[in-house]
Amino acid sequence: MNVDKILAISGKPGLFELKIQTRSGFVAESMIDGKRITVGMRSNVSLLSEISMYTHTQEKPLVEILRAIAIKENEGPAISHKEDNAKLLAYFKQIVPDYDEERVYPSDIKKVLNWYNMLQAKGLVSKEEPKIENAESVKEQVVKEVAKEKEAKTEAKAKKKPAKKD
């Protein structure tokens, strides 16, 4: 399962696939309807490969949780995220028996199941070991782009300032 370029964007429903970078951000394609949107560098964006959930012993990467669901469901769809909370909690307890009930909320579980079903519908889930070796390079690339953009703005401001006259 390769989720290196799959994004969750705060304030936007669903998941997005990173397509290209632009001067002021990047272009992402919705996995729900296929529409492309431009996302600015100030948006709160998370790579799925960087998200983890709390357990009693450590944080468990989301890709491992998605893989566990794929194994349980034989790469088929999981239960709907619209089920009642008690059913969702019982299901998630089967997937991640040691998750921290105090820090992982039903809304988090709903989000994970919704994301899994979206990825499964696109054929992006598998029982194979997760491949996240490129996640760092994607993250570094986005960070470099942000730094480059800030530097360009600083230079532009410096050029616009008139020289002081004595």
CA–CA distance, 80 with 59 (Å, rounded to integer): 24
pLDDT tens-digit profile of 88-130? Answer: 999 999 999 999 999 999 999 999 999 999 999 988 887 776 4
Query: In terms of domains, do 107 and 58 share one?
Result: yes
128 belongs to a structural domain: no
Q: Specify whether 35 is located in the same domain as 62.
A: no
Instruction: Answer yes or no: is pLDDT of 52 > 80.
Output: yes
Domain region containing 67: 51-121
The set of residues, in sequence order, having a beta carbon less than 8 Å from that of 142 and lying 6+ positions away, is 21, 26, 45
**Position 64 in a domain:** yes
Do 65 and 110 lie in one domain? The reply is yes
**According to the model, what pLDDT value does residue 164 have?**
58
Q: What is the CATH number of the domain that holds 70?
A: 1.10.10.1650
Q: Is pLDDT at 166 greater than 60 in this prediction?
A: no
Q: Do 36 and 57 lie in a common domain?
A: no
Whether 109 maps to a domain, the answer reads yes
Domain of 35, CATH number, reads: 2.30.30
Q: Do 76 and 92 have their domain in common? A: yes
What is the pLDDT, as a whole number, of residue 153? 67
Strand partners, 47: 7
Q: How far apart are CA 32 and CA 136, in angstroms?
A: 26
CA gyration radius, the chain: 20
Examine the pLDDT at 42 and tell me if it is beyond 50.
yes
Residue 115 lies in a domain: yes
- Per residue in 54-77, pLDDT (tens digit) is 999 999 999 999 999 999 998 899
Judge if 44 and 3 occupy the same domain: yes
Q: Tell me what pLDDT residue 130 has.
A: 47
Q: Which amino acid is at 50?
A: E
What's the confidence (pLDDT) of residue 41? 85
Reported pTM: 0.73
pLDDT of the residue at 140: 66
- Beta-ladder partners of 27: 20, 38
